[in-house]
Homo-oligomer: A and B are copies of this chain.
Amino acid sequence: MQSHPEVAVLRYGHRPGRDDRMTTHVGLTARALGADRVLFPDNATQAAETVRDITGRFGGPFDVERTTELNATIEDWPGVVVHLTMYGEQLQSVDDEIRTTHREEPVLVVVGGEKVPGDVYEAADWNVGVTNQPHSEVAGLAVFLDRLFDGRELEQGYENAERRVIPEELGKHVVDVEDGDHAEGAAAGDGD
List A residues at the B interface (Cβ < 8 Å).
Answer: 21-22, 25, 28-29, 31-33, 54, 58, 85-93, 112, 114-118, 121-122, 126-127, 129-136, 138-143, 146-147, 151, 153-155, 158, 164-174, 187, 189-192
Contact A133 B171 (CB under 8 A): no
Alpha-carbon gap, A36 to B116, bound state (A): 31
- Chain B residues within an 8 Å CB radius of A155: 92
CB distance from A92 to the nearest CB of B (A): 5
CB distance from A11 to the nearest CB of B (A): 12
CB-CB nearest in chain B for A153:
B131
CB distance from A38 to the nearest CB of B (A): 12
- Chain B residues within an 8 Å CB radius of A88: 167-169
CB-CB nearest in chain B for A131:
B32
- Chain B residues within an 8 Å CB radius of A133: 28, 31-32, 58, 158, 165
Contact B192 A89 (CB under 8 A): no
- Chain B residues within an 8 Å CB radius of A31: 133, 135
CB-CB nearest in chain B for A50:
B134
Contact B87 A28 (CB under 8 A): no
Q: Which of B21, B127, B131, B169 contacts A169 (CB 8 A)?
A: B127
Considering residues A126, A130, A133, A173, which has the most beta carbons from chain B within 10 angstroms of its beta carbon?
A: A133
CB-CB nearest in chain B for A141:
B139
- Chain B residues within an 8 Å CB radius of A129: 165, 167
Contact A87 B21 (CB under 8 A): no
Contact A86 B192 (CB under 8 A): yes
